[in-house]
């Protein structure tokens, strides 16, 4: 989840590396650093905190050179200090790393015994010190890097430069992504193609376990045995220009306002406008005969999957097992071959989700992924990808990608229901219409800002907040609570509304606001009773509902936020946007760093 970048060419490396780090900052912002070769020697600049701090250092102490590497860090081993900031190295080699070297303690002891002097607490320095030792023993940089890679356990994407070798850079990957960019008389390494988009569109992804030796003229690829490895250069479709805030205060605000567009674009890919039927790309398996679905993802993507589960179960009558990826991969559930693994991820690089994908495949499951980054590792390893058309999401907290995932999952549920005969044409028409109405309904939500701001005043004063929902609105509550925790640092818990009386009700007093997602419909009366129980105990209720639900809620709720009328099938999508808006308004009141909240990173490529 750190971002790494490298360049070997003829142009001044530092501005190129700094620009690429800006595009990688979503991966971590605990510290940043750049090293270049200056007259054959390694020089580096590093700074604790955000990339801007490194910018200030570079203004004071310029860093020339045409070959260099850069890093933006999300701390795993060692505090987020300047001393632990990458690049790490010795006078002979400089290294940037994304991932975790799991056997670093054992290697470190061995290297210290061999006389290597460590200066940081990081696992990454083990790589630098081992390569350094091999160089001192007379190996070439390629031999030294190769010998080192063979000893590493864990996950890594690495870029290295070497003193006295101004036209050489080595990259390697195992379990963490790394792209090789091909330019004119210059070559690049980057954690993703987004980082390299303004520099080159011609990208080859290293296969897992492979490494590459780059000069400005090209690259040679090898596997871990040292045998030449195949690679394929693809043209990236990502925009090369900088992604701005377009006048919004934060990327989050901009991305919230993109909901209607993103939902519309995503649905357009899956709904035939002429027939108003869902049309999925050709699948390499038959939805009609899939016995079971295993859905997995992390964080918000998992909550999208939970809403998807309720659609798949109720509309397509197919059993869906759901578990977070970090648990599923170690739970080893017995799975009959021929089932479907359903993976959901914005980045397509989340380490836990990727590992779960691989274990589902090993268990004989077909693999269908719902992804926002078409050029990601998960995209390459899936049998079929259903794209969310959310565009690059810059704010660390996910918003528009979440509703795009829901749009895809809703279409998947309809297509599955049709294939299995649980949905007839008339039902499909109703559901499709409900989805097609969504962009317009979502746009209307922004008119509710004054009400949401009023609710935010109450939430912002609280230390703890409870979120409640039932059925497909329980995951909405989970999403609302997660978003609030992430960007306002207020403790929030989500409960299935019916579970409250089994324990959490003990928490309720005037200081613990209760946010509920309670549209009218089948479960409304039950949820309303649960909320009444809370109100009777002094709880302050902030309720998201619809015009039908509002009348009953207004009597008990301190704040009733009336969302536009929508079909029950599509309601979780609208309610998700509303709870995200609430979290944003609370974060504004708290004055937090909305787009880059503390301790987080957007793409979590470590376990
Ligand atoms: C929450 C959030 C995270 C991600 C999670 C999965 O706002 O952004 O919980 O949803 O880390 O990331 P992806 O979707 O990239 O696999």
pLDDT of 165-215, one tens digit each?
999 999 999 988 899 999 999 999 999 888 898 999 999 999 989 999 999
Angle at 417 between CA 416 and CA 422, to 5 degrees: 150
Question: How much is the mean pLDDT over the chain?
Answer: 94
Residue 146 Cα, ligand 1 centroid: separation in angstroms?
A: 34
The answer to whether the beta carbons of residues 10 and 66 sit under 8 Å apart is: yes
Residue 31, in any domain of the structure: yes
pLDDT digits (tens, 9 = 90+) for 61-118: 999 999 999 999 887 767 888 888 999 999 999 999 998 899 999 999 999 999 999 9
| pLDDT band at residue 583 using 50, 70 and 90 as cut-offs | very high
39 and 188 assigned to the same domain: yes
Q: Ligand 1: does its nearest atom lie under 6 Å from the Cβ of 604?
A: yes
Query: Residue 572 CB: number of other CB atoms within 10 A?
Result: 29
261 and 143 assigned to the same domain: no
d(CA 249, CA 244): 11
d(CA 62, CA 477): 49
Q: Ligand 1: does its nearest atom lie under 6 Å from the Cβ of 350?
A: yes
Q: Ligand 1: does its nearest atom lie under 6 Å from the Cβ of 298?
A: yes
d(CA 345, CA 402): 9
d(CA 157, CA 173): 4
- Closest residue (by CA) to atom 7 of ligand 1? 397
- Closest residue (by CA) to atom 11 of ligand 1? 299
Domain count across the chain: 3
User: Which of 26, 191, 299, 596 for a ligand 1 pocket mutation test, highest count of atoms within 8 Å of Cβ?
Assistant: 299
d(CA 305, CA 319): 13
Strand order in the sheet with 93-101: 88-89, 93-101, 154-162, 169-174, 211-215, 218-222
Question: Residues with Cβ < 8 Å from 418, sequence gap 6 or more?
Answer: 277, 278, 428
Give the count of alpha carbons within 13 A of 273, CB side only.
Answer: 5
287 and 360 assigned to the same domain: yes
390 and 472 assigned to the same domain: no
| pLDDT band at residue 236 using 50, 70 and 90 as cut-offs | confident
Residue 38 Cα, ligand 1 centroid: separation in angstroms?
A: 39
DSSP 3-state assignment of 51?
helix
User: Measured from the CA of 405, which atom of ligand 1 is nearest?
Assistant: 14
pLDDT at 216: 97
- Considering all CA atoms of the chain, what is the largest pairwise distance in Å, rounded to the nearest integer? 81
For the chain, give the percent of residues with pLDDT over 70.
Answer: 99
Residue 243, in any domain of the structure: no
Domain final residue, candidates 180, 210, 235: 235
Residue 242, in any domain of the structure: no
pLDDT at 545: 97
Residue 94 Cα, ligand 1 centroid: separation in angstroms?
A: 31
% helix, strand, coil for the chain, step of 5: 40, 20, 35
User: Which of 298, 583, 601 for a ligand 1 pocket mutation test, highest count of atoms within 8 Å of Cβ?
Assistant: 298
Q: What is the pTM of this model?
A: 0.83
Residue 588, in any domain of the structure: yes
Residue 303 Cα, ligand 1 centroid: separation in angstroms?
A: 10
User: Measured from the CA of 401, which atom of ligand 1 is nearest?
Assistant: 14
Domain final residue, candidates 212, 235, 258: 235
What CATH number does the domain containing 28 carry? Answer: 3.60.20.10
136 labelled catalytic: no
d(CA 408, CA 304): 10
583 and 605 assigned to the same domain: yes
pLDDT digits (tens, 9 = 90+) for 35-60: 999 999 999 999 999 899 999 999 99
Residue 441, in any domain of the structure: no
pLDDT at 507: 87
At 556, list the tokens: 């008990």
User: Measured from the CA of 604, which atom of ligand 1 is nearest?
Assistant: 11
527 and 405 assigned to the same domain: no
Q: Ligand 1: does its nearest atom lie under 6 Å from the Cβ of 605?
A: no
Residue 121, in any domain of the structure: yes
Q: Ligand 1: does its nearest atom lie under 6 Å from the Cβ of 397?
A: yes
Residue 277 Cα, ligand 1 centroid: separation in angstroms?
A: 30
Q: Ligand 1: does its nearest atom lie under 6 Å from the Cβ of 490?
A: no
DSSP 3-state assignment of 63?
coil
pLDDT at 239: 67
Enclosing domain of residue 32? 3-235
Q: Ligand 1: does its nearest atom lie under 6 Å from the Cβ of 299?
A: yes
Residue 582 Cα, ligand 1 centroid: separation in angstroms?
A: 19
Catalytic residue among 2, 148, 298, 395: 2
200 and 342 assigned to the same domain: no
User: Measured from the CA of 483, which atom of ligand 1 is nearest?
Assistant: 7
pLDDT digits (tens, 9 = 90+) for 316-364: 999 999 999 999 988 889 999 999 999 999 999 898 999 999 999 999 9
2 labelled catalytic: yes
At 479, list the tokens: 């999403």
At 595, list the tokens: 């787009």
The answer to whether the beta carbons of residues 241 and 201 sit under 8 Å apart is: no
d(CA 380, CA 87): 29
507 and 423 assigned to the same domain: no
pLDDT at 240: 67
What CATH number does the domain containing 532 carry? Answer: 3.40.50.10490
Question: Residues with Cβ < 8 Å from 536, sequence gap 6 or more?
Answer: none
Cis peptide before 87 (omega within 30 of 0): yes
Residue 478 Cα, ligand 1 centroid: separation in angstroms?
A: 13
Q: Ligand 1: does its nearest atom lie under 6 Å from the Cβ of 353?
A: yes
538 and 431 assigned to the same domain: no
pLDDT digits (tens, 9 = 90+) for 540-568: 999 999 999 998 888 889 999 999 999 99
Pair type for strands 491-496 and 464-469: parallel
Question: Residues with Cβ < 8 Å from 60, sequence gap 6 or more?
Answer: none
User: Measured from the CA of 353, which atom of ligand 1 is nearest?
Assistant: 16
């Amino acid at each position: 989840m750190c971002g790494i970048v490298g360049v070997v060419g003829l142009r001044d490396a530092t501005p190129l590396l700094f620009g690429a780090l800006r595009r990688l900052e979503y991966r971590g912002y605990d510290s940043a650093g750049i090293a270049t070769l200056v007259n054959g020697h390694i020089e580096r600049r590093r700074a604790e905190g955000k990339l801007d701090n490194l910018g200030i250092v570079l203004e004071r102490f310029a860093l020339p050179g045409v070959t260099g590497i850069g890093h933006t860090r999300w701390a795993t081993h060692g505090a987020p200090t300047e001393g632990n900031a990458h690049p790490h190295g010795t006078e002979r080699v400089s290294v940037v790393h994304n991932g975790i070297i799991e056997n670093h303690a054992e290697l470190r002891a061995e290297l210290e015994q061999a006389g290597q002097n460590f200066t940081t607490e990081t696992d990454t320095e083990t790589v630098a010190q081992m390569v350094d030792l091999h160089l001192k023993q007379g190996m070439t940089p390629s031999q030294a890097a190769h010998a080192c890679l063979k000893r590493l356990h864990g996950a890594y994407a690495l870029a290295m430069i070497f003193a006295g070798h101004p036209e050489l850079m080595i990259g390697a990957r195992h379990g963490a992504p790394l792209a090789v960019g091909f330019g004119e008389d210059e070559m690049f390494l980057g954690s993703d193609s987004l980082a390299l988009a303004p520099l080159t569109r011609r990208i080859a992804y290293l296969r897992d376990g492979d490494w590459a030796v780059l000069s400005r003229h090209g690259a040679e690829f090898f596997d871990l045995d040292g045998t030449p490895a195949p690679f394929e250069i693809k043209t990236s479709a990502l925009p090369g220009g900088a992604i701005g805030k377009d006048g919004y205060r934060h990327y989050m605000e901009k991305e919230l306002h993109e909901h209607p567009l993103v939902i519309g674009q995503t649905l357009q890919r899956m709904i035939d406008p002429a027939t108003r039927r869902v049309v999925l790309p050709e699948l390499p398996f038959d939805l009609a005969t899939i016995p079971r679905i295993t859905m997995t993802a992390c964080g918000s993507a998992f909550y999208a999957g939970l809403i998807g589960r309720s659609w798949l179960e109720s509309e397509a009558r197919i059993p869906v097992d759901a578990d977070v990826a970090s648990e599923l991969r170690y739970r080893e559930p017995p799975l009959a071959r021929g089932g479907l693994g359903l993976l959901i991820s914005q980045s397509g690089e989340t380490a836990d989700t990727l590992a779960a994908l691989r274990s589902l495949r090993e268990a004989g499951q077909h693999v269908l992924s719902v992804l926002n980054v078409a050029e990601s590792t998960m995209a390459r390893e899936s049998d079929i990808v259903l794209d969310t058309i959310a565009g690059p999401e810059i704010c660390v907290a996910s918003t528009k990608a979440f509703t795009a995932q829901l749009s895809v999952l809703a279409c998947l549920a309809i297509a599955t229901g049709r294939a299995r005969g649980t949905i007839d044409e008339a039902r499909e028409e109703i559901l499709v219409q409900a989805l097609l109405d969504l962009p317009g309904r979502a746009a209307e939500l922004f008119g509710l800002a004054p009400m949401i701001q009023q609710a935010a005043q109450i939430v912002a004063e609280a230390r703890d907040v409870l979120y409640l929902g039932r059925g497909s609105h329980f995951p909405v509550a989970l999403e609302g609570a997660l978003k609030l925790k992430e960007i306002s640092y207020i403790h929030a818990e989500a409960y299935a509304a019916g579970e409250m009386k089994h324990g959490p009700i003990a928490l309720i007093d005037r200081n613990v606001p209760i946010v509920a997602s309670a549209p009218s419909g089948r479960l409304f009366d039950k949820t309303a009773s649960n909320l009444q129980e809370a109100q009777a105990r002094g709880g302050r209720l902030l309720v998201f509902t619809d015009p039908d639900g509002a009348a009953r809620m207004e009597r008990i709720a301190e704040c009733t936020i009336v969302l536009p009328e929508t079909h029950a099938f599509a309601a979780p999508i609208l309610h998700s946007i509303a709870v995200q808006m609430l979290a944003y308004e609370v974060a504004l009141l708290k004055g937090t760093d909305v787009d880059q909240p503390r301790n987080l990173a957007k793409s979590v490529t470590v376990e």
